[in-house]
Structure 1
Amino acid sequence: MFHKEGQKIILFSFCLVGISVLLAHFFIDIPWLKLTIQLLGLILLIIILQFFRNPKRVTAKDFNEILSPVDGKVVVIEEVFEKEFFKEKRRQVSIFMSPVNVHVTRYPASGSIIFSKYHPGKFLVAWHPKSSEENERTTVVIKTPKFGEILYRQIAGALARRIVNYAEKGESVQQGDDAGFIKFGSRVDLFLPLDCQINVKLNQKVKGAETCIATFVDPNENEEITY
């Protein structure tokens, strides 16, 4: 299955590669050159198809869990001051996506969208410390039943030139459903409550809509009962 954001590019690529292969077959008499052109066309097509793949994920929805919004590798776990929306300290978990990862963004939790904003910007490499504030990006905040408000931010990388964001303020969303797409290498930051339990480690590989990033901690669970 391929993502709808890649339909036009995939169709164009099929046409381009098909024409190139036919032209090479009928108009080039040098065997090695003909074969090289045909192989390069096939490789290009395979790269484009794998980039826009959209594997079906069956999500076991759970209000007590925040799932990874994307496939990739955890590159940041730290306490930071979130400037744009919360204007207070949050737990940040950042996931880097290489060009070979699935680039579909999925909702990390069920709830209501209360904030969704696009920011034009630079195209620093996605792991650059300032990419979260200076690169092209979108910021989305979901109000959840257990965690309260959580924020995720799609960040374009050095190769990415387009972020697709489906989240609209006021709509209800379901954990694991498609939330958008980022083309080529990029990153997604999650900003979570300080009291949640982080379940991933640095450099851990995660899968969108499957890997549990954090779990809800009930503040009353460990209270001592007094009589």
Structure 2
Amino acid sequence: MFHKEGQKIIIITFFIVVAAILAAQFYIDVEWVRYIVQIAALVILVAILQFFRNPKRLVTPTFDDILAPVDGKVVVIEEVDEPEYFKERKRQVSIFMSPVNVHVTRYPASGTITYSKYHPGKYLVAWHPKSSTENERTTVVLHTPKFGEIGYRQIAGALARRIVNYAEEGEQVTQGQDAGFIKFGSRVDLLLPLDCNITVKLGQKVTGAKTCIASIRKQDE
């Protein structure tokens, strides 16, 4: 299953690859060169297909947990001053996606979208400390029943040139639902309350709509 944001690119790439294979077959006389061109064309097609894959994730929504919005690796867990919307300190958990990860963004919690804004910007590498505030990005805030307002940012990386964000203010959304897509390498920051219990560690690999990132802190902790 492939994401709808990749349909046009997949179709164009398919026809280019077929044309390249046929052209190599008829116009390249040196056999080993012909094979290299044809194999390279197929590798490109496979790479595009795997990038836009959209595996089905069955989610049983819960108000007690915040789930990973994307597949990737946890690269930041820290307290930050959030200046755009919250204007207060938040717990930030950042997930870096390499080009081989699934790049579908999924809502980390169920709730009502209270803020959704796109920001044009730079294309620093996604793990750069200033990428959260200077790169092309979107900021989305959800009001949830138990965590209050939480936020997440889709951040373009050095290769990404288009962020797709489906969140609209006032919309009711469900945990695990498709929230958008980031093309070709990127990062997502979660902005969470200071008193929530972070359940992941730095360097941990997470799976979108499956891995629990944070939970309601127990009263006796």
Q: What TM-score range do you get, normalising by the shorter chain?
A: over 0.9
Pairing 1:34–2:17 present: no
The separation in 2 between residues aligned to 1:124 and 1:193, in whole angstroms, is 27
What is the aligned partner in structure 2 of residue 113 from structure 1? 113
Unaligned runs of 5+ in 2: none
The separation in 2 between residues aligned to 1:184 and 1:7, in whole angstroms, is 15
Q: What's the offset of the Cα at 1:141?
A: 0.1
The separation in 1 between residues aligned to 2:220 and 2:152, in whole angstroms, is 29
What is the aligned partner in structure 2 of residue 104 from structure 1? 104
What is the aligned partner in structure 1 of residue 188 from structure 2? 188
What is the aligned partner in structure 2 of residue 137 from structure 1? 137
Q: Which SS does the other structure have where 1:146 is aligned?
A: coil
Runs of 4+ residues deviating >3 angstroms:
none
- How far does the alpha carbon of each residue in 1:107-142 deviate from its partner, in whole angstroms, 9 at most, with x for none? 000000000000000000000000000000000000
What is the aligned partner in structure 2 of residue 3 from structure 1? 3
Unaligned runs of 5+ in 1: none
Q: What's the offset of the Cα at 1:183?
A: 0.5
What is the aligned partner in structure 2 of residue 50 from structure 1? 50
The TM-score, its normalising length taken from structure 1, stands at: 0.96
Q: Which SS does the other structure have where 2:5 is aligned?
A: helix
Q: What's the offset of the Cα at 1:222?
A: 3.7
Q: What's the offset of the Cα at 1:28?
A: 1.6
Q: What's the offset of the Cα at 1:210?
A: 0.2
Q: Which SS does the other structure have where 1:7 is aligned?
A: helix
| Identity level (%) | 71
- How far does the alpha carbon of each residue in 1:79-128 deviate from its partner, in whole angstroms, 9 at most, with x for none? 11111000001100000000100000000000000000000000000000
What is the aligned partner in structure 1 of residue 69 from structure 2? 69
Q: Which SS does the other structure have where 1:38 is aligned?
A: helix
What is the aligned partner in structure 2 of residue 79 from structure 1? 79
The separation in 2 between residues aligned to 1:129 and 1:60, in whole angstroms, is 34
The separation in 2 between residues aligned to 1:112 and 1:182, in whole angstroms, is 22
How many residue pairs match? The answer is 221
Q: What's the offset of the Cα at 1:217?
A: 2.3
The separation in 1 between residues aligned to 2:129 and 2:28, in whole angstroms, is 50
The TM-score, its normalising length taken from structure 2, stands at: 0.98
